[in-house]
Amino acid sequence: MSKIGEQKKRIIHFYCRPCAEYHLKTHPHYRAMKRRAALRRKAKEAKAAQEAQQ
Ligand SMILES: [Zn+2]
């Protein structure tokens, strides 16, 4: 019966949009999601850099 333990447990979960439910971060969709987010951020930065040059 430890609240700290419960919070730790919650942190290792994430909301998986493709599955529409919570999964452990070891779930394969988590890696795919992180990769997509990184690509999106990169694309945004590249666009901003391009606009700054014009
Ligand atoms: Zn999933």
**Where along the chain do its domains lie?**
8-53
Give the DSSP H or E segment for 53: helix 28-53
Q: Cα(16) to centroid of ligand 1, in Å?
A: 5
Q: pTM for this structure?
A: 0.56
Which positions ≥6 away from 21 have C-beta within 8 Å? Answer: 15
Q: Cα(2) to centroid of ligand 1, in Å?
A: 28
CA 44 – CA 25 distance, rounded (Å): 26
Q: Cα(19) to centroid of ligand 1, in Å?
A: 4
Residue 1 in this model has a pLDDT that exceeds 80? no
Residue range 2-40, pLDDT digits in tens: 666 655 555 789 999 999 999 999 999 999 988 999 999
On whether the CB atoms of residues 8 and 25 are closer than 8 A, the answer is: no
Other beta carbons less than 10 A from residue 15's beta carbon: 11
Residue that is written with structure tokens 């019966």 in the block: 1
